[in-house]
Amino acid sequence: MTTTKNTLSVHQIQQLEIGKNGNIMPVFRDLGQDGTLKGSLLGILYPGIKVASVNVPVEPLSELEESRVRNAMGNLTWKGIRYKLVGASGSAKEGKFYFVDEQHHTKIADRFQNWPQAAIVYFGILVSNCRVTIEEPDLRVLVVTDGNLGTNDCRAWLRRSIFEKLSLAEGAFYQFRIAFQNTQGKGSFKVMEDEVADILDADAVLPESCIKPGLKIPAKLYQLFGSGRRFRGHVVLGVRDVSRQLEFESSYTLTQHAPGEAILTEILPQTRDRITKVSAAVGEGRYEELLELIGHNPAKLQAGEVGLEEEVDTVEGLLLADKSGYIVKNPWVNAQLDKLLARWTFKACSGGAFHLSAFALADDGYLIAVDGKLYHGSDWIPFQHSISPLKSKRGLCVRYPIRMFQDCTASKGGAEIVPVACPELFKAKAVLDASVVRKVTVYVCAEMTRGESNPSGASMLKVKTRLI
């Protein structure tokens, strides 16, 4: 088996806009990665493809304007290339659609079973940028029902020897995009050992929920596939993101649901301490420390505040470039610093100024081989329990961004639930050998906690991984 690691030349996506009168205009070119096919499955599958990202009006239009926009979309030609509508992504609600050149339109339509609604929803799988992509000329893919072989909703397995070619950090799970045969899928995967993959005769195991749109299997033929459907051939795999340890700032939506005890013993003391540090940094001119205290930390960026981060970057660059410290007296810089401090003060007063250690959620699926025999399971950990290396016996599982009380769930830690759950975990009718039980238990515990660190303290507000 050979692997081609792709380094794509930058192929810019044409960025166009259709006005109310049906006129087609270029828009300011996005020089970022999202404006190219670099790192996308589409660019690897169809090297010569031409793609246009087209913005259409989203405000209410008259019948005449609607007709003109519709005609423009159906007869889009730019720089001598005729484009045809092929799909969209989550940006469709913002009036952004993707077009491809006429020569590739039929091929893309076939990938989505000539189902326009599916292309509108899932075309983003092919065009989204990935951190790393690999192309395998001969890969074996096994598609199983959700929950079988330790899979879960959109959570798959990848052979370790293939995973190592991606050169990614160990001890995590990975958000991926995949294209094989004439279909595609997305989700996250964990790593299965080569011994397991050899027994299954598969290099990747995908649950049906990963495939977008779903495979068409007549009900009367479903039983013929046994444990799943098998595919073999050319596969393109991309990893979009990797789970990692992060740190999030507090927010009003979290604090409003906190119990009174936590507010008095944790939130207020930590907030007062940070306010003291911010005041001292301002008074002594320690601006690098100040900017970090009020939110500037690229490795721990609060989700949804990219605009703020860019604003802080500008102020930070100016403050750090001037070693004399006089730049802070510049009216614009001083005004921007005041604005950042005012924004931070409002957040501190309304939501607290404490930080939370965060771990990405992982499911409890496992798939291992012991003495040549497979053991697998999923959804076996009780709903409000978790396995993690944290010292605290209780924790808080939080969905970010928090929208409602149900996004905060208390969880109980402790690996002691593994031996208790062994009979169901193995789903074995016969009594297992005690040595095998110990091996599997140790392996599962190690797999659940692998890659996480143990922060000091045992706070009720520490975000813990809940395996569901």
Domains of the chain: 6-127 (no CATH), 132-242 (2.40.40), 246-357 (no CATH), 359-449 (no CATH)
**pLDDT, position 446:** 59
Q: What is the mean pLDDT of the chain?
A: 77
Confidence tier at 299 by pLDDT (50, 70, 90): very low
User: Residue 183: is its pLDDT beyond 90?
Assistant: yes
User: Residue 355: is its pLDDT beyond 80?
Assistant: no
Q: Which of 4-13, 168-177, 189-198 has the highest mean pLDDT?
A: 189-198
Q: Which of 138-152, 175-189, 441-455 has the lowest mean pLDDT?
A: 441-455
User: Residue 198: is its pLDDT beyond 90?
Assistant: yes
* Axis crossing angle, helix 434-449 with helix 417-426, rounded to the nearest 10: 110
pLDDT tens column, 104-126: 999 999 999 888 888 888 998 99
Mean pLDDT of 383-398: 72
User: Residue 300: is its pLDDT beyond 90?
Assistant: no
Mean pLDDT of 432-459: 51
Per the rule left: phi > 0, alpha: psi between -120 and 50, beta: everything else, 114 is left
**pLDDT, position 7:** 41
User: Residue 306: is its pLDDT beyond 70?
Assistant: no
